[in-house]
Amino acid sequence: MSAAGTPIRDLDTPSVLVDLDRLEANIARAAAFAREHGISLRPHCKTHKVAEIARMQLAAGAVGLTVAKLGEAEAMADHGFGDIFVANQIVGPIKVRRAVALARRVRLSIGIDHIDQAVALGAAFRAEGSELPVHIEIDTGQRRAGVLPGAAAVELAEAVSRVDGVRLDGVFTHQGHDYLVPSRDEVRAVALTAQDAMVATAEAIRAELGTGCRVSIGSTPSLIDGALRAGVDELRVGAYVYLDASMANVVGHHDWCALTVLSTVVNRPTAARAVLDAGGRALSRDRRGAGTVLGTPGYGHVVEYPEMVIDRLSDEHAVIDNAGAGVAIGEKVRIIPNHAGGVSNLFDHVFAVRAGVVEDVWRVVARGRNR
Amino acid sequence: MSAAGTPIRDLDTPSVLVDLDRLEANIARAAAFAREHGISLRPHCKTHKVAEIARMQLAAGAVGLTVAKLGEAEAMADHGFGDIFVANQIVGPIKVRRAVALARRVRLSIGIDHIDQAVALGAAFRAEGSELPVHIEIDTGQRRAGVLPGAAAVELAEAVSRVDGVRLDGVFTHQGHDYLVPSRDEVRAVALTAQDAMVATAEAIRAELGTGCRVSIGSTPSLIDGALRAGVDELRVGAYVYLDASMANVVGHHDWCALTVLSTVVNRPTAARAVLDAGGRALSRDRRGAGTVLGTPGYGHVVEYPEMVIDRLSDEHAVIDNAGAGVAIGEKVRIIPNHAGGVSNLFDHVFAVRAGVVEDVWRVVARGRNR
């Protein structure tokens, strides 16, 4: 795929455009934040799944990568990355074998939230004559994975400390419930409450076990707000590289949004309706916490016509019911999706553009690596 | 990828399983319906995007394939299929050039709903010394693409008949608003109303132009109900091959559902909650008309625990809040997704299984071919 030098208006649609000026600024902004506060930045690659972007993040000072799946970790290892944290639970003999194989190639660490996971991993790594660093996932309010902060986490940490083959390195959380709160002030409150619970839990584990225990937090909305307590060691943010339409609600504008989906108007069936060639299979159907601080009207922000609302998506169509007369069949528009990470997983390539011209085409190397 | 002979319980997760007995029965059932009623069946490949399944559909009597995108058509042409209808509008010089190139390889036909589309295609095919068969899309109530039945369609047909390089072959509709009605009786009513409008419109076009005009309809819910008016020539259904959880509402049971997502329980954070390793990136976030005849509780039907509801999805997790005590970490379950076609587009391979054992691994050759 050679498209360097092509003006974006001459690209076929739907295509994913990544604005390099904005991407670089987003990467630099988070890196500066981490540097200023003396914490590590370990960006989550699930947002982009692109080796070139991960390299830019490391070049800006990131200490390593975060991924959601072993398959993503394997893809990134294949592209030369050497320090990867799987912020998820690894369950079952097939995945345990894959983890052992991967740990021969990279500095791998993995999340756990139940002693059974640690026991299975420990047995495999002990047989390998090796030791896997693990991090206990803490549920700071998202109600997904993780043990509760405080006593439950300390109890699990004690149990893990007795398992050969694994070594407890720290605690981590994804305070993703900040996507659902009704105001930016509450984003900040969620972040600080979660950080307080994490720092206290790590202190309790250190006191109980007499070991170190690092504190890692995630979620981009909190980063945008800059909320940070002393005692946090590491920031695992992902969405900050692209800052999609939902994140624009927290930022307050769309000027930092780096990813757009280029789309063509293919129908004008009525004076009010326009149909674009980017449906659920290009934009994803993500609404990201509709009705709250990150909620968005419709299925994406149309850059050229910000008043337009994408009311409905089918697989290959976006339907706009308030298009007005000014949009013609054949016209191309850019859509900032609600959830850029969902878009990344639908495309094999993205176009890296600057000032409206393609500089490079990047393969989404971890697309679909969901095992 | 060689997995033949593997019991499904030994597969890594999340994986897509296609039950061959059910798939074959679904294909045979629709083929028999078309044969009994003397109409053509031109299945929509967007549901599966798999060459092996398209071959099974043709072997059962299908006259050709339907696709949503030129990219899907190109992928299917690469796998030897020779008669392909793109049930969508082709707009812009890049796609017109691709259509010309593709028509050198296969019998291609394309949908239109505006004279500008026909003029652009006609100019390119005339320059090629060729003629493209086109079909006018009719909006029978879905309010997406298409012109209204009756006078608007006849007017467009007349205009198209004066364009060299294209030849009007028929009219087509996707009566997809049957996904949103509140009862199975209304599914039937939508289908018959749409068919009446299509047949009348085709008759008006024939009378006005003195030419033939074939009538093609789509949408699986109507097929399940068997609603069919005289004068319909062709059935373009897609979802019938897999019959997902939404379609099960119309069928009345899950026994025909051919596609499942095999998933592992990775967390049991509380007595009530279970977390599976199949999130939005494995199941898609599709609800398919929630609250209506096709609406489903949650994000998929768990085969082994039908009372469970998948309340929430994040990218890589499904969260069940009513799991009860009986489900253990490491246990594998099969999920019938709400929208099987959305799942197909997320995976590079599916496992073809019979009686719980893998027979073959099929590549999803048109995955992501959304241009």
CB contact under 8 A, B371 and A268: no
- Mind listing the pLDDT tens digit of every residue in chain B (371 residues)? 569 999 999 999 999 999 999 999 999 999 999 999 999 999 999 999 999 999 999 999 999 999 999 999 999 999 999 999 999 999 999 999 999 999 999 999 999 999 999 999 999 999 999 999 999 999 999 999 999 999 999 999 999 999 999 999 999 999 988 888 888 899 999 999 999 999 999 999 999 999 999 999 998 988 888 999 999 999 999 999 999 999 999 999 999 999 999 999 999 999 999 999 999 999 999 887 666 788 888 999 999 999 999 999 999 999 999 998 889 999 999 999 999 999 999 999 999 999 999 999 999 999 999 99
Residue B311 confidence (pLDDT): 93
- Interface confidence, given as ipTM, is 0.96
Residue B122 confidence (pLDDT): 98
Residue B127 confidence (pLDDT): 98
Interface of B with A in 190-249 (CB under 8 A): none
Distance CA B348, CA A20 (A): 29
Distance from CA of B27 to the nearest CA of A (A): 22
CB contact under 8 A, B280 and A91: no
With 0-12 / 13-18 / 19 or more C-beta atoms within 10 angstroms meaning exposed / middle / buried, residue B61 is middle
What tokens does B121 get? 């295609």
Are the C-beta atoms of A244 and A339 separated by less than 8 Å? yes
A333 vs B289 pLDDT, higher one: A333
When scoring B86, B91, B242 by the number of chain A Cβ atoms within 10 A, the one with the most, hence best to mutate, is B91
Distance CA A98, CA B10 (A): 14
Distance CA B121, CA B154 (A): 20
CB contact under 8 A, A145 and B284: no
The separation between CA A230 and the C-alpha centre of its own chain, rounded to angstroms, equals: 24
pLDDT in tens, A94-103: 999 999 999 9
What are the boundaries of each domain within chain B?
6-15+246-363, 20-241
Q: Which residues on B lie below 8 Å from A281 (Cβ)?
A: 342, 345, 368, 370
Residue B224 confidence (pLDDT): 87
B95 touches chain A (CB under 8 A): yes
Residue A291 confidence (pLDDT): 66
Amino acid found at B169 = D
Res. A290 pLDDT band, cuts 50 70 90: low
Interface of A with B in 15-34 (CB under 8 A): 15
What tokens does A283 get? 């934009």
Residue A287 confidence (pLDDT): 83
CB contact under 8 A, B371 and A280: no
CB contact under 8 A, B281 and A117: no
Distance CA A94, CA B271 (A): 26
pLDDT in tens, A33-49: 999 999 999 999 999 99
CB contact under 8 A, B95 and A285: no
Q: Which residues on A lie below 8 Å from B285 (Cβ)?
A: 284-286, 342
Residue B179 confidence (pLDDT): 85
Are the C-beta atoms of B246 and B52 separated by less than 8 Å? no
B92 touches chain A (CB under 8 A): yes
What architecture does CATH give domain B20-241?
Answer: Alpha-Beta Barrel (3.20)
Q: Spell out the residues 6+ positions from residue B320 whose beta carbon is closer than 8 angstroms to its own.
A: B273, B274, B275, B276, B302, B308, B309, B310, B311
Stretch A194-205: mean pLDDT, rounded? 98
Question: What are the C-alpha distances in Å from B214 to residues A137, A245, B168, B173, B211?
Answer: 60, 44, 9, 12, 10
Three-state SS for A283? helix
Q: What is the mean pLDDT of chain A?
A: 96
Residue A264 confidence (pLDDT): 98
A282 touches chain B (CB under 8 A): yes
CB contact under 8 A, B269 and A317: no
Neighbouring C-beta atoms of residue A39, cutoff 10 Å: 19
Distance CA A367, CA A121 (A): 26
Which residue is associated with the tokens 């605690």? A171
Residue B291 confidence (pLDDT): 66
CB contact under 8 A, A116 and B330: yes
> What is the interface size between A and B, counted as CB pairs within 8 Å?
152
Q: Which residues on B lie below 8 Å from A139 (Cβ)?
A: 269
Are the C-beta atoms of A304 and A9 separated by less than 8 Å? no
A315 touches chain B (CB under 8 A): yes
pLDDT in tens, A165-197: 999 999 999 998 888 888 889 999 999 999 999
Three-state SS for A79? coil
Residue B238 confidence (pLDDT): 97
CB contact under 8 A, A143 and B319: yes
Range from A8-17, A23-32, A174-183, A265-274 carrying the lowest mean pLDDT: A174-183
B12 touches chain A (CB under 8 A): yes
Out of A275, A319, A329, closest to residue B116 by CB:
A329
* Domain A6-15+246-363: top CATH class: mainly beta
